[in-house]
């Protein structure tokens, strides 16, 4: 049996598949950070309750043209494993929405009323925090009251027991 005519087709198919994988490296999701690295790289590791989320800005995504909100979440510390903030203390965390077609959980969202373990880094020269990595949020201890976030600048969604 002579297989020579099929080899060029097989080579072409393999080259096409390889080209597709090489053409889209920017869309690959980076690996999750291991728990020990998350803890080491974080300024605050804590169980928190999300008190409120406020829409602080809306900016146009340069690739998609989509209008994306930026948020400021107010978190109350319930228990801290690392960091200077003690139980009862509050921190502000910034995060941004991602384009609707984007792959992966590039942003860590915080929702009013949820209680969750999280890893945060303090922003240089400021008072706000950001998630250490895309897997900075652990298992949800208490489900959020809503996953609806504000879409108008200045609008806030509050947990039912927010002060």
Say whether pTM exceeds 0.85.
Answer: no
Tell me the C-alpha to C-alpha distance, in Å, between residue 108 and each of 3, 22, 114. 53, 28, 13
Provide DSSP, 106-118: -S----TT-EEEE
Separation of alpha carbons 130 and 110, rounded Å: 11
Domain ranges across the chain: 35-158
Give 92-145 pLDDT, tens digit per residue. Answer: 999 999 888 777 667 899 999 999 999 999 998 889 999 999 999 998 999 999
Q: 88's torsion region: left (phi>0), alpha (psi -120 to 50) or beta?
A: left
SS3 of residue 41 by DSSP: helix
**Which helix or strand (DSSP H or E) is residue 19 part of?**
helix 6-23
């Amino acid at each position: 049996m002579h297989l020579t005519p099929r080899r060029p087709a097989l080579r072409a198919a393999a080259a096409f598949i390889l080209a597709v994988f090489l053409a889209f490296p920017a869309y690959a999701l980076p690996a999750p950070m291991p728990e020990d690295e998350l803890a080491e790289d974080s300024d605050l590791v804590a169980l928190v309750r999300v008190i409120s989320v406020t829409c602080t800005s809306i900016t146009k995504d340069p690739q998609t043209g989509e209008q994306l909100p930026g948020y400021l979440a107010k978190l109350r510390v319930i228990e801290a494993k690392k960091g200077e903030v003690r139980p009862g203390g509050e921190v502000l965390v910034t995060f941004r929405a991602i384009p609707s077609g984007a792959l992966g959980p590039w942003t860590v969202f915080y929702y009013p009323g949820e209680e969750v373990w999280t890893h945060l880094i303090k922003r240089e020269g400021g008072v706000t925090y950001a998630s250490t990595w895309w897997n900075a949020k652990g298992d949800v201890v208490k489900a959020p009251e809503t996953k609806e976030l504000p879409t108008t600048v200045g609008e806030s969604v509050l947990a039912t027991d927010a002060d």
